[in-house]
Amino acid sequence: MEPLKLVAVSAGLGKPSSTRLLADRLAEASLRALAAEDRKAEVEIVELRELAVDIANHLVTGFPSAALGAALAAVSAADGVIAVTPVFAGSYSGLFKSFFDLVDPDALTGTPVLLAATGGTARHSLVVEHAMRPLFSYLHALTLPTAVFAATDDWGAGADTHAGGLPARIGRAGGEFGRLLQGRTARDLNRGSEGQKSQTRNESGEGGDEFDGVVPFERLLANVTQ
């Protein structure tokens, strides 16, 4: 059986970066969970900091550089994605959003995605639910119910130790992610969804317009009385 291909996307800007550190820790936890079930996997880290200029150029020209093209291809072909962003102004970073704006809208359909974020304080922790999860729901990804948020204090000596603190949360998320990837890969799910789309197109006839059957707005208003 071929090794699973995991891609960890880190949108951290610093070097060193707590966002990259969290991505690395989650990747390690996921690999340990898979190894415990005798499932081989490989992890590729996509550091968006190194692709920032390429991402901006692609947005305005429509053509990716070789490095950016390789990163987009890796994410699109991944069996699982770990997506980690710092919090800026109460949401994911612009660099993080710009990168995923360039990913093909259908590429992540059915792909398991582990969400994580870093921020200055725990007050930003809901960014995962209010910003990141809707983004990946729009991309039809299969987001893991358990996400990880790491505030600055989580990394220090005085870190919260409730239920084991950040290391325990990372281990739990990585374990759940590994179990989700067991037995069936996201590529299998994608092939199934593509087959269903193909069947739908065949049933409706080749060359059918995606807006066939949509009721015109004027007709909807026809029976509205003033």
Structural domains present in the chain: 4-193 (3.40.50.360)
DSSP annotation of 39 reads -
Bond into 16 cis (ω within 30): yes
Q: How long a stretch of residues is the chain?
A: 226
Cα 113 to Cα 106: distance, rounded to the nearest angstrom: 14
Q: For residue 39, count other CB atoms closer than 10 A to its CB.
A: 16
Check residue 121 and give its pLDDT.
81
Cα 187 to Cα 6: distance, rounded to the nearest angstrom: 12
User: What are the distances in angstroms from CA 138 to CA 43, 108, 133?
Assistant: 25, 10, 9
Ramachandran assignment for 74, one of left (phi > 0), alpha (psi -120 to 50 degrees), beta (any other) = alpha
Under a CB-based contact definition with an 8 Å cutoff, are residues 25 and 12 in contact? no
CA 102 to the chain's CA centroid: 13
User: What are the distances in angstroms from CA 164 to CA 61, 171, 212, 221?
Assistant: 48, 10, 55, 59
Cα 13 to Cα 4: distance, rounded to the nearest angstrom: 28
Under a CB-based contact definition with an 8 Å cutoff, are residues 46 and 10 in contact? yes
Amino acid at 157: A
One pLDDT digit (tens) per residue for the chain, 226 residues: 789 999 999 999 988 899 999 999 999 999 999 999 999 999 999 999 999 999 999 999 999 999 999 999 999 999 999 999 999 988 999 999 999 999 999 999 999 999 999 998 888 788 999 999 999 999 999 999 999 999 988 876 555 555 568 999 999 999 999 999 986 544 554 444 444 433 433 444 444 454 455 556 565 555 554 4
Question: 106: Cβ–Cβ under 8 A, 6 or more apart, which residues?
Answer: 140
Phi, psi of 115 (to 5 degrees): -95, 140
- DSSP count for the chain of H helices, then E strands: 9, 7
